[in-house]
Amino acid sequence: MPDLLFSSPRLAAVYDAFDGERDDLELYLGIADEVAASSVLDVGCGTGCLGVLLASTGRTVVGVDPALASLELARAKSSAVTWIHGDATSLPPPRVDLAVMTGNVAQVFLGDDWEATLRGIHAAVRPGGHLVFETRRPEARAWEGWAETTVRMVDGVEEVRELLSVDLPFVSFRHTYRFPDGTELASDSTLRFRSHDEVAESLTATGHRVVDVRDAPDRPGRELVFVAERVS
């Protein structure tokens, strides 16, 4: 089930404002050019920032997300993208050239749903097509930077982020939003931190070959960017 941050219409509506400039998306646009992808599947597309960007280049784009509130915002941004309410395990077989998962998407899968997602993506990508996603390096210990409660204010809405627990490979945290009318909504999230080898093994097990593992230009030293090819 999607976190309230994405599934609540009121929280989804302020997500983009708090997320700010998506400096991470140029990486995916560049890789789409690199592998000559004319069709792209955006898994966990959220409010559609990358899907809209890819569609603006003339590509055929499908965005899928289980959080309907986020997906409705994506639909309002562009009719050039095919937006699907669901997940990668229930997609029709579009046989796209490239599938992507940006931000924290790859880390929200905490158990067997990770390999199920990879298998769903495998079925959606044509043979020889690619899958690209990022995941935080466990050794960078990102959660240590989350240990101090942070407070931000955007357009009169206050966001408070606090670390809840570290029970590796799982890290849980909470975002609380306070609106000008006094409404307060809290969204709890958990991410799974997988090692390089664990990710590589899961890709191999689901019919992919790791082509490259790169750094994320917007977060040097903190992310692993996997580029994998469908081989079976």
Query: pLDDT tens across 112-162, in order?
Result: 999 999 999 999 999 999 999 999 999 999 999 999 899 999 999 999 999
Fold of 4-137+195-230: Rossmann fold (3.40.50)
CATH architecture assignment, domain 140-191: Single Sheet (2.20)
Torsion of CA 70, 76, 78, 79, to 10 degrees: 110
Q: Is the pLDDT of residue 13 over 80?
A: yes
pLDDT at 209: 98
Query: What's the pTM value of the predicted model, to 2 decimals?
Result: 0.95
Domain spans in the chain, listed from the N-terminal domain onward: 4-137+195-230, 140-191
Q: Is the pLDDT of residue 68 over 80?
A: yes
- Say whether 140-191 and 4-137+195-230 share the same fold: no
| Helix, coil or strand: residue 42 | strand
Pick the closest to residue 193 from 90, 108, 118 (CA basis). 108
